[in-house]
């Protein structure tokens, strides 16, 4: 028998491939399904089931495409939702045979009402692994406030109460030696502050996970809801795509992977109202970019920040990327439901510049330069665009917090006629912030390369005493 965790860092998401005696199941697949198909083909196996732990909010699952391309059956937990595709709505404790192994459905409402865990019973009849979706993470549990966006009569308090019961009545009675395989790890917005580890024994989680400790239901509800902030705006839209269905990934790629010359690219931008998304490194972007383009670097938490910064999934997008990475960008946009990329700049920004088109730039300075400026003028504006929890944990004295997560509110703190020195933790988010405000007519933002990490390491600016954050949301 084979169990493989397929982890995608930019989404902090774990999909799983399970195989026994020539039959395979894929749990919570990503949108691009060809790698799963090729894996099964290489091993001479047939994908029998696509097992979904719940209707995902933070990414678009590949269940529909994978089922259509392989003939596999889609399985969800108990739900009354009408889906836009054929699926098996499983009952609690229903067992599915996979080769010589078995997979048992354990209904665990709380994160969402249809949430399930899948208990793997190996070929020797032993309970071996528990695929917990967003019910149980390593060090955390799934936030219980997302499904209320989809089902009106649910509240986060009701969901948290369900989660308490699911954990105590369904999960904790299971064997300590079970391996827990969650759907997410550190960096996901589906939990408050989960571990960087992507698996653990259930026994160790019973000892170390705050949510599994002895407490009343009322205490649990208060604990699990404390520190929650509003989820990214694209979450409810992804849920609906996962329920109702979506365009094939093949159609999305065909639409997006369309090379455009600089003149064609400019014409498309002017005629369609498409957003220009520049996915190059932040410091490379700063030196030169197409006016009004937005920088969200592909080498970072790309999908998450696209989802947070672009409210409309149907927004047409024109892509500027490093040469050879255009398909990667289109694919990673599709992972979170942005299916309307309409082309990319052939030859990249270099071709644009060489063709004589207008370019713009953002000033970026080192921490040493910032320190000298502040020494000469202690009253300068330093803007910290990290999350509020990060800022409260540790920050430059006299800096102001303007979280990127809430950019429309944060930009109200910025005056167009004054200069601001903007930083995040390492330089990725500050350039997103600067590029968006630059496109909105704010011309006096200066980026601090290296961010707070470089500031602290330099020792040249005073920072507040460190306070351990209770949540990283």
* CB atoms inside a 10 Å sphere around CB 363: 14
**pLDDT at site 277:** 98
**pLDDT at site 435:** 98
* Nearest residue to 389 (alpha-carbon basis) of 228, 262, 265: 228
User: For residues 248, 251, 253 and 254, what is the CA-based torsion angle, rounded to 10 degrees?
Assistant: 170
Length of the chain: 473
**pLDDT at site 470:** 67
**pLDDT at site 227:** 84
pLDDT tens readout for residues 208-263? 999 999 999 999 999 999 988 888 889 999 999 999 999 999 999 999 999 999 99
Quick one: three-class SS letters along the chain?
A: CEEEEEEECCCCEEEEEEEECCEEEEECCCCCCHHHHHHHHHCCCEEEEEECCCCCCCCCCCHHHHHHHHCCEEEECCCCCCCCCCCEECCCCCEEEECCEEEEEEECCCCCCCCEEEEEECCCCCEEEEEEECCECCCCECCCCCHHHCCCCCCHHHHHHHHHHHHHHHHCCCCCCCEEEECECCCCCCCCCCCCCCCEEHHHHHHHCHHHCCCCHHHHHHHHHCCCCCCCCCHHHHHHHHHHCCCCHHHHHHHHCCEECHHHHHHHHHHHCCEEEECCCHHHHHHCECCCCEECCCCCCHHHHHHHHCCCCCCCEEEECCCCCHHHHHHHHHHCCCCCEEEEECCHHHHHHHCCCCCECCCEECHHHHHHHHHHCCCCEEEECCCHHHHHHCCECCCEECCHHHHHHHHHHCCCCCCEEEECCCCHHHHHHHHHHHHCCCCCEEEECCHHHHHHHHCCCCECCCCCCCCCC
What number of CA atoms fall less than 13 Å from residue 337's CA on the CB side?
A: 29
**pLDDT at site 385:** 98
| Strand-pair partners of 344 | 259, 319
Cα 392 to the center of its chain, rounded Å: 23
Bridge-based pairing state of the strands 101-107 and 95-98 = antiparallel
pLDDT tens readout for residues 166-204? 999 999 999 999 999 999 998 888 888 788 999 999 999
* CB atoms inside a 10 Å sphere around CB 393: 17
Distance in angstroms (rounded) separating the CA atoms of residues 409 and 180: 39
* Nearest residue to 3 (alpha-carbon basis) of 13, 15, 17: 17
**pLDDT at site 149:** 59
Cα 218 to the center of its chain, rounded Å: 30
**pLDDT at site 150:** 64
Collect the ranges in the chain with pLDDT lower than 70: 149-151, 470-473
* Nearest residue to 25 (alpha-carbon basis) of 45, 6, 7, 47: 47
pLDDT tens readout for residues 372-407? 999 999 999 999 999 998 999 999 999 999 999 999
| Strand-pair partners of 401 | 384
């Amino acid at each position: 028998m084979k169990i493989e965790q397929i982890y995608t860092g930019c989404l902090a998401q774990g999909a799983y491939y399970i195989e026994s005696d020539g039959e395979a199941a894929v749990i919570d697949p990503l949108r691009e399904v060809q790698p799963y198909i090729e894996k099964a083909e290489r091993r001479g196996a047939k994908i029998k089931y696509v097992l979904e732990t719940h209707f995902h909010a933070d990414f678009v699952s590949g269940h529909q495409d994978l089922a259509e391309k392989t003939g596999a059956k889609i399985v969800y937990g108990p739900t009354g939702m009408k889906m836009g595709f054929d699926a098996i709505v499983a009952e609690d404790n229903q067992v599915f045979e996979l080769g010589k192994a078995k997979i048992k459905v354990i209904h665990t409402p709380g994160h969402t009402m249809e949430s399930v865990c899948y208990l793997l019973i190996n070929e020797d009849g032993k309970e071996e692994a528990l695929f917990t979706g967003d019910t149980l993470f390593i060090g955390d549990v799934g936030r219980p406030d997302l499904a209320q966006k989809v089902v009106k009569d649910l509240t986060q308090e009701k969901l948290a109460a369900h989660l308490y019961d699911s954990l105590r009545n369904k999960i904790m009675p299971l064997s300590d030696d079970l391996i827990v395989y969650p759907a997410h790890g550190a960096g996901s917005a589906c939990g408050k502050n989960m571990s960087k580890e992507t698996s653990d024994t259930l026994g160790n989680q019973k000892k170390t996970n705050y949510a599994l400790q002895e407490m009343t239901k009322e205490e649990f509800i208060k604990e699990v809801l404390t520190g929650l902030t509003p989820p990214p705006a694209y979450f409810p839209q992804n849920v609906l795509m996962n329920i109702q269905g979506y365009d094939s990934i093949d159609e999305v790629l065909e639409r997006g992977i369309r090379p455009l010359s600089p003149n064609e690219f400019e014409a498309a931008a002017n005629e369609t109202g498409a957003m220009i998304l520049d996915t190059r490194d932040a410091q490379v972007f700063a030196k030169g970019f197409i006016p009004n383009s937005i920088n969200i670097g592909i080498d970072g938490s790309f999908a998450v920040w696209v989802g947070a910064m672009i409210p409309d999934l149907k927004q047409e997008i024109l892509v500027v990327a490093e040469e050879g990475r255009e398909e990667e960008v289109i694919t990673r946009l599709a992972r979170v439901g942005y299916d309307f990329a309409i082309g990319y700049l052939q030859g990249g920004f270099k071709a644009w510049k060489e063709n004589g088109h207008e370019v713009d730039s953002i000033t970026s300075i080192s921490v040493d330069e910032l320190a000298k400026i502040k020494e000469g003028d202690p009253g300068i504006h330093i803007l910290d665009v990290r999350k509020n929890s990060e800022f409260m944990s540790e920050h430059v004295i006299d800096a102001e917090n303007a979280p990127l997560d809430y950019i429309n509110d944060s930009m109200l703190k910025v005056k167009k006629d004054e200069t601001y020195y903007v930083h995040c933790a390492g330089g990725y988010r500050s350039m997103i912030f600067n590029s968006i405000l630059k496109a909105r007519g704010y011309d006096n933002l200066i980026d601090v390369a290296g961010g707070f990490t470089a500031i602290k390491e330099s020792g040249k600016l005073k920072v507040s005493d460190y306070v351990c954050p209770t949540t990283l949301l």
